[in-house]
Structure 1
Amino acid sequence: MQNLLLIGTLAALSANLPFFSEKVLFVWQPKSVSKHFVWRLLELALYFVLIGFIARLLEAQLSPVHEQNWQFYASTLALFTVLAWPGFVWRYFWRKSGL
């Protein structure tokens, strides 16, 4: 149960990280004033793979790792994208005062 909560929390936080910073991976500042949407998608994909790797490591500690088909990865990617919705709304739809 604790591993499930840990993975869920990490997934929700990491899905929103690309939308809260203008730096790529919080390190590199692109030459343009703001980073493009493509950079945000690449970060989102990287975080998806990272969270999947962490989940696989935690599963390996508890039991043998179950092999998954493409349907599993498609549905978890869809869930990860849904978890990114608050950050996307904050970045692109929320009206900031003075702009």
Structure 2
Amino acid sequence: MTQTASVWLVLLLALLVANMPFVSNRLFAVYALKSPKNLAIRLVEMLVWYLLAGGLGLYLEQRTGQIASQGWEFYAITGTLFVTFAFPGFTYRYLFKRRG
């Protein structure tokens, strides 16, 4: 897999999993809960998805060559990018008016 394909794979995966907590009522899209998820559970789930997407990115970077060291700035930027990716799901879940 080329480096460009790896980057696009991680970005598309991050876009998909950032919205998973807000689109699905199942925990990690697998486990059905007895009561609906609240915002706190959704945010914790989003953090776990962020770590998994970052782990895949780290793995793909390690496969293509040497892993570059990252400071706190990298994690601050990728975290805010992940939250930005989650905005469509958040909007769908909390800001659209339900009719009927």
Q: Residues of 1 paired with 2:49 and 2:32: CA distance?
A: 18
2:8 alignment partner, SS class: helix
Gap runs ≥5 in structure 1: none
Q: Shift of residue 27 of structure 1? A: 2.8
Q: Shift of residue 25 of structure 1? A: 1.2
Q: C-alpha offsets along residues 39-97 of structure 1, whole Å, 9 cap, x if unaligned?
A: 10011000000000000010011110011111110110000000000000000011122
Residues matched between the structures, number: 97
Q: C-alpha offsets along residues 8-63 of structure 1, whole Å, 9 cap, x if unaligned?
A: 1001001000001112112333332x211111001100000000000001001111
Q: Residues of 2 paired with 1:57 and 1:97: CA distance?
A: 44
Partner of 2:49: 47
Correspondences of 1:11-50 after superposition (within 5 Å) = 11-32=14-35, 34-50=36-52
Query: Does residue 1:92 correspond to 2:91, yes or no?
Result: no
Q: TM-score, normalised by structure 2?
A: 0.91
Partner of 2:69: 67
Gap runs ≥5 in structure 2: none
Partner of 2:80: 78
Q: Percent identity?
A: 36
Paired residue type of 2:65: S
Q: Residues of 2 paired with 1:23 and 1:80: CA distance?
A: 20
Q: TM-score, normalised by structure 1?
A: 0.92
